[in-house]
């Protein structure tokens, strides 16, 4: 074991920064000054995490007995998710400093925002299921105040719904962990699985039921049917920066949990071809199609984007459920690409609401003339989400469809790609009309330019950066692909 005490720094630093902001933030003269301090803290966390995660060390933090311990270890999957967390958290934090500048609860928002980053960084670095579960649930507690930030009755109901679903998912996950404990579930993560196959003989039903409960429990955070309903309720009520990280990053923590649980604990070979795999494939495809259809019918912009997240995150779950290396590569690529795309979309929605107070899609005619930079960012990432080349969304969906087609003679080998294609068409149907009507409202629309309504550069520069990354990753997918190939080589 290669103990490196430095691994604790990226986890403790945001907690300390969040506590400092909560305790002493009001002593700073204005929210602009507070914003500078907060951005400096977020930048420091990003730099520290990048430097420490690049070293790939491990640390046994605390050991209760031979089975239960808090263990941190950085591997390639940790690096991908950890660096995604700190980079998105920094960019959204910069945006939020301006977006939230006139908010009464500015200090409390950023206090919980910073502490939530700490828990996600710990989730990335978790070295066993006990450690993952502990930080995963602490993340739920710390993100709960972000959802109900406005303290309106609707926001409180949304927060309680988020908490209720999260607790229900946590109980299913915990039950699965307890049931598989006698077979080695609490050991440190190992690519390909850690369970004792000999001890499992005769207990296959326990294994399969526990595996499905683990998938549904962790899939709750990812918005997988039937545990998806918190997403379209929470997103419209949360402030735009909170919606952005909820959709862009926090839902991915559930996907990472499933990867750790199935590919690093149970082992994909133990569920391949069983009713658990078929159930997982079915639930993920139902979620993909259902989310796209509900997004297509939804008139409220942020709620439409929330249903879109329900659909798109299950692309990743479908790829993982196929249980082959090509689909797995597509799923991990889509974690990164969707995070950048959907974070940008929610920041665009927040900018539109911030500048115009419009929340419904039918109110956005000619918005492209008022906010051209913002709507161009929206358009480019929307095209990427649909899966049109050469943008990043095309790359991940190509791998997902290719992996499904390679999965053998079963209905899912053609049903999966067919549903992904239908979902892509529906995605175009609910995203692109905003662009078309925004730039071309029609002759019947009496439009008179009143002056640009673009937000402050502090808000639109993060959107431009993430839009640029969406394009760059599409043109040069090998930047990430080489790292993911190393993961697939050890997992399969």
Quick check: 125 and 11 in contact, CB under 8 A? yes
With cut-offs at 50, 70 and 90, classify the pLDDT of residue 55. Answer: confident
* CA atoms of 14 and 138, how far apart (whole Å): 14
Classify residue 221 by its DSSP letter.
Answer: T
Mean pLDDT score, 11-35: 86
pLDDT value at residue 416: 95
Three-state helix/strand/coil letters over 232-243: HHHHHHCCHHHH
**Closest by Cα among 223, 407, 409 to 315:** 223
Mean pLDDT score, 251-272: 96
Q: What are phi and psi of 3, to 5 degrees?
A: -70, 130
pLDDT value at residue 2: 56
Q: In the predicted model, is pLDDT for residue 154 greater than 50? A: yes
Q: What is the pLDDT of residues 114-133, one digit of tens each?
A: 999 999 999 999 999 999 99
Cβ neighbours of residue 245 under 8 Å, at least 6 residues apart?
Answer: 88, 89, 92, 113, 116, 146, 343
Highest mean pLDDT among 47-56, 247-256, 353-362, 479-488: 247-256
DSSP secondary structure string, 449-479?
--------HHHHHHHHHHHHHHHHHHH-THH
pLDDT value at residue 66: 72
* CA atoms of 250 and 89, how far apart (whole Å): 11
**Closest by Cα among 367, 359, 455, 431 to 154:** 359
**Closest by Cα among 89, 86, 88, 57 to 73:** 57
Quick check: 148 and 159 in contact, CB under 8 A? yes
Tally of CA atoms within 13 A in the half-sphere of 295 that contains its CB:
28
Q: In the predicted model, is pLDDT for residue 367 greater than 60? A: yes
Mean pLDDT score, 4-27: 90
Query: Which ranges in 246-324 belong to alpha helices (H)?
Result: 251-258, 275-297, 301-322
Q: What is the pLDDT of residues 324-337, one digit of tens each?
A: 999 999 999 999 99
Mean pLDDT score, 139-162: 93
Mean pLDDT score, 253-276: 96
**Closest by Cα among 419, 170, 470 to 317:** 419
Give the pair of three-digit tokens for residue 92.
């959204």
Q: What are phi and psi of 323, to 5 degrees?
A: 65, 40
Sign of the Cα pseudo-torsion (26, 27, 31, 37, in order): negative
pLDDT value at residue 1: 47
pLDDT value at residue 322: 96
Mean pLDDT score, 10-21: 94
Q: What is the pLDDT of residues 165-222, one digit of tens each?
A: 999 999 999 999 999 999 999 999 999 999 998 899 989 999 999 999 999 999 999 9
Q: What is the pLDDT of residues 434-491, one digit of tens each?
A: 999 999 887 666 555 555 688 989 999 999 999 999 999 999 999 898 899 999 999 9
More confident residue, 408 or 417: 417
Q: How far is CA 197 from the centre of its chain?
A: 33
More confident residue, 301 or 449: 301
């Amino acid at each position: 074991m290669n103990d490196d005490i430095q691994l604790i720094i990226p986890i403790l630093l945001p907690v300390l920064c969040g506590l400092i902001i909560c305790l002493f933030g009001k002593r700073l003269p204005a929210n602009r000054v507070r914003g500078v301090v907060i951005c400096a803290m977020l930048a420091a966390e990003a730099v520290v995490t990048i430097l420490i995660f690049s070293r790939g060390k491990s640390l046994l933090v605390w050991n209760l007995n031979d089975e239960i311990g808090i263990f941190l270890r950085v591997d390639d999957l940790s690096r991908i998710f950890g660096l995604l967390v700190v980079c998105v958290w920094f960019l959204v934090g910069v945006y939020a400093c301006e977006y939230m500048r006139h908010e009464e609860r500015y200090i409390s928002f950023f206090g919980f925002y910073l502490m939530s980053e700490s828990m996600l960084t710990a989730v990335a670095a978790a070295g066993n299921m006990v450690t993952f579960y502990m930080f995963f649930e602490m993340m739920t507690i710390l993100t709960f105040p972000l959802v109900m930030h406005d303290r309106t009755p609707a926001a409180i109901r949304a927060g309680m719904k988020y908490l209720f679903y999260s607790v229900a998912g946590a109980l299913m996950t915990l039950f699965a962990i307890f049931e598989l404990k006698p077979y080695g579930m609490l050991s440190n993560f190992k690519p390909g699985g850690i369970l004792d196959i000999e001890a499992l003989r005769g207990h296959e039903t326990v294994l399969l039921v526990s595996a499905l409960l683990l998938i549904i429990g962790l899939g709750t955070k990812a918005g997988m049917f039937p545990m998806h309903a918190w997403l379209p309720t929470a997103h419209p009520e949360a402030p735009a920066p909170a919606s952005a990280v909820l959709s862009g990053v926090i839902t991915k923590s559930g996907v990472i949990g499933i990867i750790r649980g199935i590919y690093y604990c149970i082992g994909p070979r133990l569920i391949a071809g069983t009713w658990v795999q078929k159930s997982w494939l079915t639930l993920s495809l139902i979620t993909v199609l259902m989310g796209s259809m509900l997004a297509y019918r939804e008139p409220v912009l942020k709620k439409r984007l929330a249903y879109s997240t329900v659909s798109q995150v299950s692309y990743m779950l479908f790829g993982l459920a196929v249980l082959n290396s090509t689909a797995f590569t597509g799923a991990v690529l889509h974690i990164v690409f969707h995070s950048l795309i959907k974070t940008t979309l929610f920041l665009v929605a927040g900018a539109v609401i911030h500048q115009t107070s419009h929340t419904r899609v039918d109110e956005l005619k000619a918005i492209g003339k008022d906010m051209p930079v913002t709507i161009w960012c929206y358009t480019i990432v929307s095209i990427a989400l649909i899966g049109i080349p050469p943008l990043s969304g095309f790359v991940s969906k190509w791998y997902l469809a290719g992996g499904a087609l390679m999965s053998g003679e079963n209905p899912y080998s053609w049903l999966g790609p067919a549903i992904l294609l239908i979902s892509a068409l529906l995605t175009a149907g609910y995203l692109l009309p905003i662009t078309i009507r925004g730039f071309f409202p029609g002759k019947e629309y009496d439009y008179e330019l009143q002056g640009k309504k673009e937000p402050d550069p502090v808000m639109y520069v993060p959107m431009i950066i993430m839009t640029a990354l969406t394009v760059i990753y599409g043109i040069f997918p090998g930047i990430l692909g080489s790292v993911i190939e190393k993961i697939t080589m050890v997992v399969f």
